[in-house]
Amino acid sequence: MQAVNNLLERLEARDIRALARAISLVEDSEEGASELLASLSPRLSGSRIIGITGPPGSGKSTLTSKLARDFLDRGEKVGLLLIDPSSPFSGGAILGDRIRMQELSGRDGIYIRSLGSRGSVGGLSQATARVLRLLEHFGFSVIIIETVGTGQAETDVVETVDSVVVVAVPGLGDDIQAMKAGIMEIADVFVVNKADKDGADRTLRQIEAALQMQEGQGMHKVPVLATVASSGQGVTELVAALDAHYKYLADSGELQRRRERRLRKELIGYVTSVLMSDFFARSQADVDAKLADIIQGRTDVYTVGRFLSRKYINERVERDAKQD
Ligand SMILES: Nc1nc2c(ncn2[C@@H]2O[C@H](COP(=O)(O)OP(=O)(O)OP(=O)(O)O)[C@@H](O)[C@H]2O)c(=O)[nH]1
Ligand SMILES: [Mg+2]
């Protein structure tokens, strides 16, 4: 408790090293993580959360860095969260990203952090939710989350943001059909980056055509923009498109709905992981013993499942009653 109190005080004083420490703490689900999170003020800050997703190497980090620069120029405080499910490492940002984000170094009001797949029962999306909570609490007015690819982990993460930017590159060709299946639906703003390369116009038109088919009445019209992240071309337009989308969210009530969805997911995710880890910690021997019976055909998964869940719930109730 003492350690948590001390950390809280330093967080209140906007000590950036305390933020780094707090993030490591909640990410690892160490002792004290939920205690720390539960001690933060419950008031939701007005952080605006932007997700940037797209295939590997499409220029997400370069674009993120340019976006961050523009937001900083406007006087925003910016937190960058780089998510790499393929990396076991967390901590600062990975070296390559540091280089790509060099132009941000030395600037005030920015914090960059990468998140790997290490640890935590609830996986990356829960770790992300916790880190987001800390960044919001710390007072970043804009938080940008970069995630690679199209897997479930990314879709989960993306469900927690206000605006999703999907980055594509020229020469997508037939891939557009595949993209349509998953990623088209989650885009609030589409970007064709590397517009200095051949085929950018064609890709742009293909994406626009695909988007048109899914447009519904009263829905936000997803803009498709061309950018050259490495030179900064088109970034001003991207910021404007994001501002417009944010205004749409606020005016339509969708912002409230998205935040509610995020909180619901966070709450259910937390409770589920507590129950699950508790169950796994206690049930190993039971599961092993019953599994042998199931394999021998003496009983089945569902009979055992019903028995174990009841047993587990009863034990838990008894344990909690003793503690009260
Ligand atoms: N020609 C061109 N190159 C670009 C552009 N934007 C980024 N690049 C280059 O593309 C490469 C990949 O850029 P990143 O920003 O690391 O891409 P990323 O999507 O973050 O990559 P991962 O995080 O590894 O998936 C780098 O060498 C960039 O310099 C662009 O608009 N045009
Ligand atoms: Mg990157």
> How far apart are alpha carbons 291 and 303 in whole angstroms?
12
- How is the beta sheet containing 163-168 ordered, strand by strand? 110-115, 78-83, 142-148, 48-54, 163-168, 189-192, 224-226
Whether residue 91 is contained in a domain is answered as yes
Which of 58, 60, 61, 62 is the best mutation target for the ligand 1 pocket, counting ligand atoms within 8 Å of the beta carbon and taking the most? Answer: 62
Per-residue pLDDT 10s for the chain (324 aa) are 678 889 999 998 999 999 999 998 888 766 678 889 999 887 767 899 999 988 888 999 999 999 999 999 999 999 999 887 666 555 655 656 666 677 787 788 999 998 876 655 457 778 888 899 999 999 999 999 998 765 666 667 677 899 999 999 998 655 665 565 567 788 899 999 999 999 999 999 988 988 887 776 667 889 999 999 999 999 999 999 999 999 999 999 999 999 999 899 889 988 888 888 888 888 888 899 999 999 999 999 999 999 999 998 898 888 878 877
Query: Are 218 and 283 contained in the same domain?
Result: no
Query: Are 233 and 319 contained in the same domain?
Result: no
Whether residue 13 is contained in a domain is answered as no
Q: Whose CA is nearest to atom 28 of ligand 1?
A: 59
Domain that holds residue 314: 267-323
Query: Are 248 and 148 contained in the same domain?
Result: yes
Is the CB–ligand 1 distance for residue 56 below 6 Å? yes
Ligand 1 atom nearest residue 148's Cα: 25
Whether residue 14 is contained in a domain is answered as no
Query: Are 167 and 102 contained in the same domain?
Result: yes
> How far apart are alpha carbons 296 and 184 in whole angstroms?
48
Using the mean position of ligand 2's atoms as its centre, give its distance from the Cα of residue 54 in Å: 10
Last residue of a domain, one of 199, 222, 252: 252
Is the CB–ligand 1 distance for residue 85 below 6 Å? no
Query: Are 223 and 273 contained in the same domain?
Result: no
Whether residue 83 is contained in a domain is answered as yes
Query: Are 104 and 192 contained in the same domain?
Result: yes
Using the mean position of ligand 2's atoms as its centre, give its distance from the Cα of residue 323 in Å: 48
Query: Are 51 and 155 contained in the same domain?
Result: yes
Which CATH number do you get for residue 224?
Answer: 3.40.50.300
> How far apart are alpha carbons 187 and 52 in whole angstroms?
10
Ligand 1 atom nearest residue 197's Cα: 1
Helix (H) or strand (E) holding 100: helix 95-100
